[in-house]
Every structure is written in C-alpha cells, then in structure tokens.
Chain A
Amino acid sequence: DAGVIQSPRHEVTEMGQEVTLRCKPISGHDYLFWYRQTMMRGLELLIYFNNNVPIDDSGMPEDRFSAKMPNASFSTLKIQPSEPRDSAVYFCASSLVPTTGGWRDTEAFFGQGTRLTVV
C-alpha cells in the first residue's frame, strides 16, 4: 500500500488566492482527518469524515475553509480566499473504524503533508 498520499507537497500562493489541498487515504480506511500544524498551536484537527460524511468540523477556523470527501478515495481541503495566517503544514490522515476497541484499529496514518505559504 502506498500510504496516505497528499498533493501538492509545497504550495506558495498570494494572499487572496484559492488553495486546494488533496488527499488520498489508505484503501479501506473509513476515517479521514485534516490537520493543521504550526509551531505555536501544534497539531489542530480541522475536520474529520467517517465513511465520507463530515462528522466534526468544529476545528475549521472560519468560512474560508471548506472540505469535501466525494468518495472513499479522495478528499479536498479548500481555502478561499487564503491569508498569510493560513501558512502552516496541512496533514491528512486516515484510520480504520475501531471495531472491538483494539488499539491498533485507531492508529492514524499520516500523509507527508502540504507545506502552505501564503505571501
């Protein structure tokens, strides 16, 4: 398995532009998470999906952020319009649905991240 695949790896954009980040989770994983990581705030959960349905988007900073998961193998995180304070590393992660509560079921596998710089 190739693992979680994110694209692009790096993105530099001007303030006000639309940015779209992409993620392909591990096949068979029913949970997909979008995180943002900065030095000051660490890893913040933005939104997560279960079986393609958004479950909790309370971490999405504001209406400029939106996420979709049109099918089990693809998700996008969009920022429109982008601002310099959105500069961060954005990670996508996926995990199995916990079944019997086995510890390994809830291990989250991360993509390599998208390093976003908004100038």
Chain B
Amino acid sequence: RKEVEQDPGPFNVPEGATVAFNCTYSNSASQSFFWYRQDCRKEPKLLMSVYSSGNEDGRFTAQLNRASQYISLLIRDSKLSDSATYLCVVNILTTDAGNNRKLIWGLGTSLAVNP
C-alpha cells in the first residue's frame, strides 16, 4: 500500500461547482499535513496546511481525520483558474537517530474546471 494515496481523477467540473478531494495516509506517526497545488509544467506550491480542527482559506476548506487517517480538500465556487493538480503531502518523523522528518507525497488529483 502506498504511504499516501489519492484518487488521480481527472475531476471535470463546471465553473461554480463544489468539488472535494480525499487523501489517505498509512503512517500513524504522521505529524503534519498539507495540500500543494501544481500547475502544468510548473513547480508545486503550498496551497494550505491542514490543521486538526479543520481550516478554511477563502473558498478552500481542509479537514483532517486522524482516526481514519485521511485528509480532505473542499473547493467551493470553482474557478477556471483552479484547474491544476492537487497534491496531498504528509510530514513524517523518520526512523533515523536524528529526529528528522520528511515529506511523503501523493501522486496528485487532477482538476479541470470547465466554462
């Protein structure tokens, strides 16, 4: 089983629609969680962190369910400019002696918002 799993999509939605992505992770020692956005042929950029209590940033809402080990991203009132790939990222504590952490990435969910 992959450490971080996402539905690859693509999700094709009309402008104004609400769309939700889920992501599951397997490492119960995961410490922090993020959604990154990647536009075509560009680098990934942080969209938002995911807090235990859930958090909202404008049209975007992120939720974390530690018991079920999944995180979600909800986009309301979709815009054409939301078309991108959304990457789920989990920060885990590594097993080396240095108390280091590393980011584990999902393969991404592709979203196309259509006029």
The answer to whether A42 and B106 touch (CB under 8 A), given A50-B100, A55-B98, A103-B32, is yes
**Hey, which chain A residues are within 8 Å of B100, CB to CB?**
50, 55-56
Query: Which one of A17-25, A71-79, A108-116 is at the B interface?
Result: A108-116
B73-115, CB under 8 A of A: which get 1 and which 0? 0000000000000010101001010101111111110000000
Chain B interface secondary structure, helix, strand, loop or mixed?
strand
CA distance A48 to B104 in the complex (A): 12
Number of A-B pairs whose CB atoms are under 8 Å? 57
Asked if A110 contacts B101 (CB within 8 A), the reply is no
CA distance A48 to B105 in the complex (A): 14
**Hey, which chain B residues are within 8 Å of A108, CB to CB?**
44, 46, 89, 103
Q: A91-B43, A91-B44, A108-B89 are in contact. List 20 more A-B contacts (CB 8 A).
A: A33-B102, A42-B107, A42-B108, A43-B87, A45-B102, A45-B103, A55-B100, A56-B94, A56-B100, A56-B102, A98-B91, A101-B31, A103-B49, A104-B49, A107-B34, A108-B44, A108-B103, A110-B43, A111-B43, A113-B43
